[in-house]
Amino acid sequence: MISLTPEAAEHIRNSASQGGMADMPLRVAATRREDGSLHYALGFDDIKRNDDHRFESEGIQIVVAPQSLELLNGTIIDYVELEGSKEIIFINPNDPAQQPPAED
Whether 20 is covered by a domain: the verdict is: yes
Instruction: At 17, give phi and psi (nearest 5°).
Output: -65, -45
Whether 76 is covered by a domain: the verdict is: yes
pTM of the full predicted structure? Answer: 0.88
Whether 102 is covered by a domain: the verdict is: no
Whether 104 is covered by a domain: the verdict is: no
Q: Give the CATH number, domain containing residue 63.
A: 2.60.300.12
Instruction: At 44, give phi and psi (nearest 5°).
Output: -85, 135
Tell me how many helices (H) and strands (E) the chain has: 2, 7
Whether 98 is covered by a domain: the verdict is: no
Reported as a single tens digit per residue, the pLDDT across 51-100 is: 999 999 999 999 999 999 999 999 999 999 888 899 999 999 988 877 66
With 60 as the cut, is the pLDDT of residue 103 above it?
A: no
Number of domains the chain contains: 1
Instruction: Residue 11: give the domain boundaries.
Output: 3-91
Whether 18 is covered by a domain: the verdict is: yes
Whether 26 is covered by a domain: the verdict is: yes
Whether 100 is covered by a domain: the verdict is: no
